[in-house]
Structure 1
Amino acid sequence: MISRITGDRPPRGDRLDAQDGRRPGTAPARDASAPIDKPPLPVRQPRKRGAAAAGPANQETPAQGFDYFAASARDGGPDTRSAETSGAWALQGTGPHAFPAQSRPPARDPRGLRLPETTEGGAPGGQWDPWSRTAQEGNGGAVRPAADAGTAAPERPARPMRDRPMRDLPAEDPSLPPWPSAPAQTATGTGPLPQEFAQRTRPAPPAGWDGQETEQEPAPAPQGKRPREPFLDNVKFILIALVATGHSLVPTLAADSSRAAYLFIYVFHMPLFVIVSGYLSRNFWNSSTKTTKLIDNFLIPYVVVEIGYAALRTAFGHKFSISITDPAWLNWYLLALLLWRLSTPVWQRVRFPLFIAVIIYVVAGMTDLSGDFSIDRFFGLLPFFVLGLVIKPGLFEFLARTWVRVLSVLVIAGAAAVAVYLVKNYSIKLGPIYYSQSYVDLHLVWWKGMVLRMALLVAALTMSAAVLSLIPRSDTWFSDLGTRTLYCYLLHGIPVMIAKEMGWLSAPWLFGPLGVAAIASACFALAIVLCMPITRTFFKWLLEPRVSWLYRRSEQSA
């Protein structure tokens, strides 16, 4: 039992009177050299059995309990209650589970101070001591009083571990919620404990745990809609401007400058677009509302755009033709993104999804895949979509570091120099940068085709990381424009097709660096116009019609 004054813990399972080697029942001699911080406290004599049980008036029966400090105060001794000593003995010596004290002389601790009388378990007044041998033997700390000669000791039920002394309980965790605490009671149960001990008691459990009603904390206010991330909107606007620029450079690809710019753009701009689409598709299947977007944002616009471009080609003298399975021109992306999002649960389920996607990407080049339903682009750009699914937001923070941005400038400059060098010195074929043609179509043996695809994968990822590093993270003037890139993607083909058919993009002065700059500037301005709110107002009825009548009521309300 922990000493009331010194706080020293006696050895487990050993009786206090056995520490100095004396015989039980003899009073030990005080060690004059032992320091004494406070005068010894008087202790009541143990209650005797039978006819000798009647004693002084200040002796209490086991049913009343024994408060050591109250007895000390009545006898004239000081009442030195503290947060460390007042609670454990006062609470543990009362109630129907209290046991009578043993008839034994008062014990002393190693410093010579008198201690409260103990029982066989080493606890004062029949209390439970967690350091006693009985507690270690697994009986819950139950202490049976010693029996006189010829008298059987009464059987007592084992005391549960919940009667553990308060001093051995952990201190209150300040991180716990401030549950209202019930007032702590003294040994007699008639009044509160001192304030310094009541503050150390555990907080009361929440309402409903023990059937008592307690004050409830106000429920937190519902959080508002999470704001959009301006960084991703900035990325999407830059990429959609590059998409329009790449399509506009096709009539001038005979010039080295246009061909180099085209090669530079197509190596990374669609792979990065697919990475962002995969990143935004991570939680796509969490609600049925998002599932309906598969029809609202993909299938309906796909049908509308297919019919619109077929009508536009017919207006310029071409034969009318329409194919739902074989998307025309830029419409391939809608079907490919639809298939990628349908496969999202599979990639979120399997282990090593990126590794598996890269293997499929390399092996798919050995098969001559058709363009029906954009299957060739689905496999050709699959690793980039899966990469978007598995990357964490911490990657974007890493790319924003200063040294990474400096390195990114060098990467972009080096990639532009490599594109110019390859166009000047080699007859570069543009088929591989579409990520759709097989090795047979590229006239390559299988192992050379695999090496080429892996080299393109590394180049695309390196350039994509460099571009992500250099794009602003904060809100900019074009951040809002990045929220409506779908309209720019679907509508920019109309002015580009008109300019091609009318010969505006084949002017001689466009075949050179100045022509590349002019086309890029015009496409940047076109992207701004097509991403403005007024454009969505004019074409929303066509590209995003209300089709709530198409869905079941349960799915619509989910």
Structure 2
Amino acid sequence: MSSTTHPGITATPLRSAPAPRVGRRRDPYFDNAKYLAILLVAVGHVLPVVVEGSRTTRTLYMLVYAFHMPAFVLISGHLSRSYTGRPDQLRRLLTGVVVPYLVFEVAYTLLIRWGAQPERPYSLLHPSYLMWFLIALFVWRVTAPFWSVIRRPVPVSIAIGALAAITPGLDGVIGMQRVLQFLPFFVIGLRMRPEHFLFLRRRPVRIAAALVFAGALPFTYWATASIHMTWFYRTVSAQEMGVAWWPGLIRVGALFVCTLILTAAFLALVPARKRWFTVLGSGTICGYLLHGFLIRGGQYSGFFDQYPFLATPGGRVFLAVTTLAVMTLLCTPVVHRIMKPVTEPELAWAFRKDAKEGEAPGRR
């Protein structure tokens, strides 16, 4: 979601590979994946505005929510493989994740106080709206070296996520419920090698991926009547949704498998070559942080309620297309440059001069 993938992420290649050289080209595949994923994020956030009364819209909403954030997290993990806690990496983690979190957490709190909750307190430990992802990214990134030294990191992370899903009360501080439940996807991304992504891009796999989505649509349409969306948000435990821990664990496991399949299918269908939108992959941080103001602002001001047309089938299509267009604009290099003092500030005055030691000479 940044000039690499997310704020604070340096997209150097495998841990065993040498440091990148100056001028090394970006992999268009990951820029394409980031851009397409951020479009799904925006659509997933705007659909609730018009989801009532339309089972088809709810189906699309549920399907998008089933894999869009897991895909984002997995890509973040893969592009975090070089993180070892070097001074330059810590510096970028602070400027690319912590600073945007501090700034936009205050901004979103002000928005919420204006539009919905005048008494909402300022609390950096209770992320507002979209901000949970930045604080989760910080936690995952800091723990990246740990997952490279233990045995069976993926099963361990899955076990942690499963235990979190049946542990009530975890979402009280820094959204820990989501941090832990999405953790397996980050670790899977960390452990994936380039050949795994090459396998996903093989023609037979891409055909299978298209068939997966073709089958997922009718299945999701059928499932909308019996599955609550809270399962996809991963904000509360199974018990807090009225399900005992052992059937809750089964549901969480089934959801994890389905999500992983859909995520793999999405990654298989991402174009590998450079496209017109490839350049937008470096500006996804701006699209992510800014689009929430438009959606929440529209809700709080009553904008969506003023136009009943938006609740019609044609209106829903119009709203989705408009959202895609606006998100595309928010990811453009112009917006990226304007927002860089906030999303990727240098802050040289805040760091020791030797904090750059060990920094790779190229920046993705």
The 5-angstrom pairing of residues 157-306 of structure 1 reads 223-254=21-52, 255-285=54-84, 287-306=86-105
Cα contact 2:43–2:323 (8 A) shared by 1? yes
SS in 1 for 2:33: helix
Distance in 2 of aligned mates of 1:461 and 1:301:
29
Distance in 2 of aligned mates of 1:429 and 1:317:
24
For 1:88, the equivalent position in structure 2 comes to none
Does residue 334 (structure 1) correspond to residue 134 (structure 2)? The answer is yes
The 5-angstrom pairing of residues 95-114 of structure 1 reads none
CA apart distance, 1:329: 0.5
CA apart distance, 1:539: 2.3
SS in 1 for 2:239: coil
Letter in 2 for 1:284: Y
SS in 2 for 1:455: helix
For 1:461, the equivalent position in structure 2 comes to 260
Cα contact 1:257–1:516 (8 A) shared by 2? no
Cα contact 1:361–1:382 (8 A) shared by 2? yes
For 1:431, the equivalent position in structure 2 comes to 230
CA deviations on 1:409-431 (whole Å, 9 max, x unpaired) are 110111111111222xx243111
For 1:441, the equivalent position in structure 2 comes to 240
Cα contact 2:281–2:331 (8 A) shared by 1? yes
The 5-angstrom pairing of residues 527-542 of structure 1 reads 527-542=327-342
Distance in 2 of aligned mates of 1:532 and 1:416:
31
Does residue 354 (structure 1) correspond to residue 154 (structure 2)? The answer is yes
Distance in 2 of aligned mates of 1:503 and 1:427:
30
Could you say if the C-alpha distance between residues 331 and 355 of structure 1 is closer, same or farther in structure 2, counting changes exceeding 3 Å?
A: same
Distance in 1 of aligned mates of 2:343 and 2:281:
17
> Structure 2 stretches of 5 or more lacking a match?
1-19, 359-364
TM-score, structure 1 normalization = 0.58
Determine what percentage of the aligned residue pairs are the same residue. 34
Match of 1:380 among 181, 184, 189: 181
CA apart distance, 1:515: 3.4
Distance in 2 of aligned mates of 1:499 and 1:223:
45
Distance in 2 of aligned mates of 1:260 and 1:515:
17
- The structure with the larger Rg is 1
Distance in 2 of aligned mates of 1:263 and 1:407:
21
Match of 1:550 among 331, 350, 358: 350
Distance in 2 of aligned mates of 1:346 and 1:223:
26
For 1:520, the equivalent position in structure 2 comes to 320
Distance in 2 of aligned mates of 1:290 and 1:363:
31
The 5-angstrom pairing of residues 5-154 of structure 1 reads none
Could you say if the C-alpha distance between residues 226 and 287 of structure 1 is closer, same or farther in structure 2, counting changes exceeding 3 Å?
A: farther
Letter in 1 for 2:48: V
Which one has a larger percent helix, Structure 1 or Structure 2? Answer: 2
Cα contact 1:482–1:531 (8 A) shared by 2? yes
CA apart distance, 1:402: 1.5
CA apart distance, 1:556: 3.1
For 1:409, the equivalent position in structure 2 comes to 210
SS in 2 for 1:370: helix
CA deviations on 1:426-472 (whole Å, 9 max, x unpaired) are 24311110123201112111111111111111111111111111111
Does residue 324 (structure 1) correspond to residue 124 (structure 2)? The answer is yes
Could you say if the C-alpha distance between residues 521 and 316 of structure 1 is closer, same or farther in structure 2, counting changes exceeding 3 Å?
A: same
Cα contact 1:362–1:453 (8 A) shared by 2? yes
Distance in 2 of aligned mates of 1:397 and 1:267:
23
> Structure 1 stretches of 5 or more lacking a match?
1-221
For 2:309, the equivalent position in structure 1 comes to 509
CA deviations on 1:213-257 (whole Å, 9 max, x unpaired) are xxxxxxxxx954321110000000011111111111122221222
The 5-angstrom pairing of residues 472-511 of structure 1 reads 472-506=271-305, 507-511=307-311
Distance in 2 of aligned mates of 1:311 and 1:447:
40
Cα contact 1:233–1:479 (8 A) shared by 2? yes
Could you say if the C-alpha distance between residues 317 and 388 of structure 1 is closer, same or farther in structure 2, counting changes exceeding 3 Å?
A: closer
CA deviations on 1:14-50 (whole Å, 9 max, x unpaired) are xxxxxxxxxxxxxxxxxxxxxxxxxxxxxxxxxxxxx
Letter in 2 for 1:363: L
Cα RMSD of the aligned pairs, angstroms, is 1.7
Could you say if the C-alpha distance between residues 489 and 408 of structure 1 is closer, same or farther in structure 2, counting changes exceeding 3 Å?
A: same
Distance in 2 of aligned mates of 1:414 and 1:508:
32
CA deviations on 1:248-269 (whole Å, 9 max, x unpaired) are 1122221222211110110000
Does residue 393 (structure 1) correspond to residue 191 (structure 2)? The answer is no
CA apart distance, 1:310: 2.1
TM-score, structure 2 normalization = 0.88
SS in 1 for 2:126: coil
Cα contact 2:116–2:300 (8 A) shared by 1? no
Distance in 2 of aligned mates of 1:260 and 1:327:
28
Cα contact 1:285–1:291 (8 A) shared by 2? no
CA apart distance, 1:309: 1.5
SS in 2 for 1:284: coil
Letter in 1 for 2:154: L
CA deviations on 1:349-380 (whole Å, 9 max, x unpaired) are 10000011111111222211124112111111
Could you say if the C-alpha distance between residues 232 and 223 of structure 1 is closer, same or farther in structure 2, counting changes exceeding 3 Å?
A: closer
Cα contact 2:38–2:284 (8 A) shared by 1? yes
Letter in 1 for 2:37: L
CA apart distance, 1:314: 3.5
Aligned length: 335
